[in-house]
Amino acid sequence: MESLGFVQDILHHLSYFWVTLLMAIESSFIPFPSEVVVPPAAYKAATGEMNLFLVIFFATLGSDIGALVNYYLAKYLGRPLVYRFADSRLGHLCLLSREKVEKAEAYFVKNGVTSTLVGRLVPGIRQLISIPAGLSGMPLGKFLLYTTLGAGAWNVVLALLGWFIGKTVPPELFAETIQRYSSAIGLAILGVLVVGGLLYWLYKRRTKHA
């Protein structure tokens, strides 16, 4: 019940500034779910209090800011200090661990620079994919391009969900409804990625044989 009240409180006080700030926090290594930021803002857009396109814009801007924090920290601190922080008590309070950083780094190495785009859509990877990008010295322009595209796609999905709920669900049921659908968001996006990856693999295979 406390989490429901938290979502309702965000819904009542949300503004473009708070959308940007909270999404910057969500995109950094500090744990904060985007599902309690973008859908409530989109809900307010559905009721005429905010603008849906501005919600997506400022949410993506905040995502870029948070990703840049991770990128520059990793780039200038280097691998030893990043892993030392992940092993520290403060790192654990931020829900970081050596295993999570290693997983993100392995994903980055396996998928190349496009992992910055795709990784923004993968639960458990999306907040940390900026760390291996910074560690590898990925060019800033390319990093920002892929991060913006990936974060933008994620925010569009969340915003459309909040908009649809805003048009069909009364305010007192919003928090409960968004919690019910939030876990399904990640599964749906993961399914799209699997299908897209399979189609891409089939295309590459067909091109190679041709």
The whole model's pTM is what?
0.75
Render pLDDT for 125-179 as a digit per residue (tens, 0 to 9): 777 778 888 877 788 888 899 889 888 888 888 888 888 887 777 766 766 776 6
Query: In the block, which residue shows the tokens 């990128």?
Result: 71
Distance CA 32, CA 35 (A): 9
What separation in angstroms does the CA of 104 have from each of 65, 112, 141?
A: 19, 12, 20
Domain ranges of the chain: 2-209
Lowest-confidence range among 35-44, 70-79, 123-132, 176-185?
176-185
What does the pLDDT read at residue 65?
94
Distance CA 162, CA 52 (A): 10
Helix (H) or strand (E) holding 129: none
Lowest-confidence range among 17-26, 60-69, 108-117, 125-134?
108-117
Render pLDDT for 83-125 as a digit per residue (tens, 0 to 9): 777 777 766 666 667 777 777 777 776 766 677 777 777 766 7
